[in-house]
Amino acid sequence: PPTCQVSYHLDDEWSDGFQASLRVTTDEPLSGWQLAWTFPDGQRIGQTWDATPHQNGAQVTAEAKDYNREVAAHGTIAFGFVGTRDGGNGAPRGFRLNGEPCANG
């Protein structure tokens, strides 16, 4: 079973963009983390807070900053971003924390 759960929330949207927040709860303690997912609809990640983003096509990763690398067991990771889109505003899918699949919740 997944050892993490991701909550993705669309905070705001406009014709060619959106603002979203993510909250990840992990059962295991972490020393450094990377959350990966797949964007639909031509979405691109832009300004991000509390994570460092990378994107290659539809594949996105967000990595810990120095100040939020350590996460206790049953702890939470939270960050947000502004993105652009050239299609619909579908939700991301396939969340993986440090390579392990997460449940959506």
> What is residue 18's predicted lDDT score, i.e. its pLDDT?
94
> What is residue 102's predicted lDDT score, i.e. its pLDDT?
96
> What is residue 87's predicted lDDT score, i.e. its pLDDT?
77
Distances (CA, A) of 27 to 22, 74, 77: 17, 5, 12
Contact 62, 42 (CB under 8 A): no
Q: Would the pLDDT of 28 be above 80? A: yes
Q: What is the per-residue pLDDT across 36-91, written as a single tens digit (0 to 9) for each?
A: 999 987 899 999 999 999 999 999 999 999 999 999 999 999 999 999 998 777 88
Across the range 11-23, mean pLDDT stands at 94
**Architecture in CATH for domain 4-34+43-88:** Sandwich (2.60)
Domain chopping of the chain, boundaries: 4-34+43-88
> What is residue 25's predicted lDDT score, i.e. its pLDDT?
97
Residue 1: pLDDT band by 50, 70, 90 thresholds? confident
Contact 17, 53 (CB under 8 A): no
- At residue 42, what is the residue type? G
CA diameter of the chain: 39
Of all helices (H) and strands (E), which one includes residue 88? none
> What is residue 101's predicted lDDT score, i.e. its pLDDT?
96
